[in-house]
Amino acid sequence: MPCSIPLAKRYRMERSLCGALPPTTLQSGFRLVPWHDRLLEAHAKVLHRAFAEDFDGRVFPCFRTLDGCLELMRAMRGLPSFCPGATWLLTAPEGCIGTVQGLMGEHRFGMLQNIGLASAYRGRGLGSALLCSAIGGFRRSGATRMNLEVTASNLPAMRLYEKFGFRCIRHVYKPTASSSEPEASATIAPIIRAGNDSGDAIENRR
């Protein structure tokens, strides 16, 4: 019998970088830290903390181990398209709790990567602060449009992106790994997903 592989539905969303953004206030005690190479490991640790037990850890198994997240961050940093201005770390009094990364594509197109936020800090508007910082970084880097991908079942993230003016342009299906499968080594699949049509997805334009 043919093997049935579970698929995760993901929306590819896009917006112009013209126009105002929703007002965003960073709460007292939290701080947004711009990219520096010495912070690479801190970004990787937040990615692992945010996604290791999350459904996206099954879509992108590199999130399930710290080594996988480190390899992913190193791969991103090594790309000519890496956009330091759109890559931010969010800290709290307890330590690093949020991250976002960006790449610059062709034709001045910003490609938002993973917004990762520790689960205990979700629902406080901190994702808005990370997203706003990334958008500002893309603008300062000369981007005129930007895109991202989000898992369809992640309704809070969907609402956040729609609040910031993102609109779905297509949807893709990606295979998921079971929680019992061994963790895969990191690849740049999470990078490719936000900017290009890749062969590991079944895509449907809307």
Asked if the model's pLDDT at residue 26 lies above 50, the reply is: yes
**39-115-22-134 Cα dihedral, nearest 10 degrees:** 40
Considering the chain, what percentage of its residues have pLDDT values greater than 70? 84
Tell me the pLDDT band of 199, cut-offs 50, 70 and 90: very low
Terminal-residue alpha carbon distance, the chain: 32
29 and 94 Cβ atoms separated by less than 8 Å = no
Considering the chain, what percentage of its residues have pLDDT values greater than 90? 73
Nearest to 150 by CA among 136, 135, 169, 133: 169
174 and 201 Cβ atoms separated by less than 8 Å = yes
Give mean pLDDT, residues 58-77.
95
Question: Packing angle between helix 40-51 and helix 66-77, nearest 10 degrees?
Answer: 130
Tell me the pLDDT band of 6, cut-offs 50, 70 and 90: confident
Question: What pLDDT was estimated at residue 165?
Answer: 96
Other residues' Cβ atoms within 10 Å of the Cβ of residue 167: 12
**pLDDT tens-place string over residues 119-140:** 999 999 999 999 999 999 999 9
**pLDDT tens-place string over residues 78-121:** 999 999 999 999 999 999 999 999 999 988 999 999 999 999 99
Query: In whole angstroms, what is the distance from residue 173 CA to residue 59 CA?
Result: 10
Task: Give the architecture-level CATH label for domain 7-205.
Answer: 3-Layer(aba) Sandwich (3.40)
Return mean pLDDT, the chain. 86
Question: What pLDDT was estimated at residue 177?
Answer: 73
